[in-house]
Chain A
């Protein structure tokens, strides 16, 4: 469907000179996956690693995009050239998606590059597409690269949490201290934002997060360096909190460097991507095996209760990872 008159090499050459459509095309190749994405990866892998990678996550409607809109103004004013990867869900029923983050992001300045990515449902697709897209934007000179995802779904949380700095956006009125202590999203935060801080209950939300962090300190679950994630009050209607948030991001970046955590974090990110790639390939092999005649025999034997689920899985595993 797409006119691919240019090779990935030609696109990359155009992209590093700042041609927006060439960057856009490279990101499409990354999203497609397969050989095209591998070719782009080969071009960008070595040239990346300079950009600060920031993740922003939080529940739907918590104001992530509006906050980002304010934050981008601060980042551009500070002399940086930011790029955003905004992830929105695809419909599991139709595969379609409404990518609406740009509605809130007022980025008429040409310094900022924004790309919307739909989750597209296929297993591990997002876990591969996002690191690939980060590499492209990093390699062509954007810094920082910001990933925005809804904080639902393990893959979405994982890709955001594997950033250098992860920001979790919370709102007033979304629960008490007990909610804040439930495991999950809040544990991945390097920085908290209580957004919509003009609404009643914002100080309660702040107190609940503080209490949660106190308990993390007591149980030894805090950062190994003893760093306590700051809590920033923000209100995107008037833009308050954005400058404080940027200072906190810069401070966290310096902290990562000072404590030698930056390399550990990035190594962890590479490892996570490697795991995603391998598990994606293994899942493909599994699907092929299950679709084969022998695979169908095993499934039939399982349905007829002639073999147990564990016997069936052993047989399939032997076939999937057999070494010929």
Chain B
């Protein structure tokens, strides 16, 4: 079913109040024809897993500005895996260059830092989703 829109869950995990970027990404993906299940602030990885299951989502987008990315992003990947969900995790927000390799190693699909164009956001999400099918 190529005409089924991509469904993506967008969330911020943990204690982190910076949701402007995530809201922007939500709008970018909406305007690219995606169905964005927006969770917003202060989510837990357990809750995101439950939402991915209920919403039958194709991808998870996390935005991190609380310097917890090395802990929480791999935990998100692991939580999805152990629930049997083959769903890519796309990471945005502030991620220092020296952490990228470790995060990719832990199973994060894509990292989109500050300055990423809207086109790149959409393309990365599409590629991450189609590469899993």
Q: A residues bordering B, Cβ < 8 Å?
A: 1-3, 20-21, 23-25, 27-28, 31-32, 90-91, 94-100, 102-103, 108, 110, 113-116, 118, 120
Q: Are B55 and A96 in contact (CB under 8 A)?
A: no
Additional A-B contacts beyond A25-B56, A31-B4, A90-B35 (10; CB < 8 A): A1-B1, A1-B130, A1-B133, A2-B133, A3-B86, A27-B56, A96-B36, A98-B36, A100-B38, A102-B37
Identify which of B45-53, B62-70, B103-111, B112-120 touches chain A. B45-53
Task: Say how far A65's CB is from chain B's closest CB, in angstroms.
Answer: 12
Residue pair B31, A94 in contact (C-beta under 8 Å) = yes
Number of A-B contacts (CB under 8 A): 92
A91 near B31: Cβ-Cβ < 8 Å: yes
**Chain B residues near A (Cβ < 8 Å):** 1-2, 4-6, 26-27, 29-40, 44, 47, 50-56, 58, 83-86, 129-130, 132-133
Known: A1-B130, A94-B32, A99-B37. A115 touches B55 (CB 8 A): yes
In the bound complex, do residue A103 and residue B84 qualify as a contact, i.e. CB atoms below 8 Å apart?
A: no
> Which of A31, A102, A114 has the largest number of chain B CB atoms within 10 A?
A102
Per the bound structure, the CA–CA distance linking A114 and B47 in Å amounts to 12
Residues of A within 8 A of B36 (CB): 96-99
> Which 4 A-B pairs rank lowest in CB-CB distance, beginning with the nearest?
A24-B56, A96-B30, A20-B53, A21-B53
Give the shortest distance, in Å, between B37 (CB) and chain A (any CB). Answer: 5
With the chains together, A114 CA to B6 CA distance in Å? 18
Indicate if the CB atoms of A96 and B1 lie closer than 8 Å. Answer: no
Contact present for A103 and B133 (CB under 8 Å): no
When A91-B30, A118-B5 are in contact, do A103 and B54 touch as well, CB less than 8 Å? Answer: no
Given the complex, which residues of B lie within 8 Å of A108, measured CB to CB? 44, 47
Which of chain B's residues have a CB closer than 8 A to the CB of A91? 30-31
Cα-based distance from A24 to B26 in the complex (angstroms): 22
CB distance from A233 to the nearest CB of B (A): 28
CA distance in complex: A116, B7 (Å): 10
Taking a contact as CB atoms closer than 8 A, the residue among B5, B26, B51, B130 that contacts A102 in the complex is: B51
Residue of B37, B38, B50 near A110 (CB, 8 A) is B50
Residue of B nearest to A110 (CB): B50
Tell me which residues across on chain A come within 8 A of B58, comparing CB atoms. Answer: 1-2
The residues of A that contact B133 with a CB separation of less than 8 Å are 1-3
A94 close to B54 (CB less than 8 A):
no
Identity of the chain B residue whose Cβ is nearest the Cβ of A19 in the assembled complex = B53
